[in-house]
């Protein structure tokens, strides 16, 4: 039996320990924010936090998540929108929106570790998150705006 905490709730899983965490979140728990993109951890659409760190859930097995505290886009704020989400909306970041949950989760992890990131810091931290619509300039601006709001 694999036990983990998802968005603050204790969960138990008695299935294949090699099943990707992404499938558990989507198929078993009905948490659809993390998306399937590439399936090999390169695009970032499936990004969640495990122990506060941005992690690709498509390549994280359930056995690797055992005992972990997992946070999805659905669980990032119990008090309304997170500052990163607010800046995303205010600056009209999304175009198609497919990658945005992963982008937001990566951005939150960045700001949790670096409260005042430079453009270079942002570019390095976000490099593994692909936006096929090319909204990278708006993403960077939104991260800077969220950093200002949190300061």
Residue 45 structure tokens: 């659409």
Q: Give pLDDT, residue 68.
A: 98
Instruction: Provide the CATH number for the domain around residue 49.
Output: 3.10.20.30
The overall average pLDDT reported for the chain is 96
Q: Give pLDDT, residue 14.
A: 96
Q: Give pLDDT, residue 15.
A: 96
What average pLDDT does the segment 43-71 reach? 98
Is 19:62 a contact under the CB 8 Å cutoff?
A: yes
Does residue 55 carry a pLDDT above 90? yes
Same domain, 102 and 54: no
Same domain, 10 and 69: yes
Same domain, 48 and 105: no
Same domain, 20 and 57: yes
Expressed as residue numbers, the domain containing 49 is: 2-75
Same domain, 101 and 68: no
Q: Give pLDDT, residue 43.
A: 97
Q: How far apart are CA 80 and CA 110, in angstroms?
A: 20
Q: Whole-angstrom distance between the N-terminal and C-terminal Cα of the chain? A: 42
Does residue 149 carry a pLDDT above 90? no
pLDDT-derived band at 151 (thresholds 50, 70, 90) equals: confident
Same domain, 88 and 139: yes
């Amino acid at each position: 039996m694999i036990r983990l905490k998802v968005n603050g709730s204790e969960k138990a899983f008695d299935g294949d320990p090699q099943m990707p965490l992404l499938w558990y979140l989507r198929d078993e728990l009905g948490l659809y924010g993390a998306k399937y993109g590439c399936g090999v951890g390169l695009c970032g659409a499936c990004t969640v936090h495990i122990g506060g760190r941005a992690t690709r859930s498509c390549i994280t097995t359930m056995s690797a998540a055992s005992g972990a505290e997992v946070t999805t886009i659905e669980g990032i704020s119990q008090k309304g929108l997170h500052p990163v989400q607010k800046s995303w909306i205010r600056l009209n970041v999304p175009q198609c929106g497919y990658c945005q949950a992963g982008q937001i989760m990566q951005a939150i992890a960045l700001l949790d570790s670096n409260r005042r990131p430079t453009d270079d810091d942002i570019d390095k931290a976000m490099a593994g998150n692909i936006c096929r619509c090319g909204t990278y300039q708006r993403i960077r601006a939104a991260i800077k705006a969220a950093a200002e709001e949190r300061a």
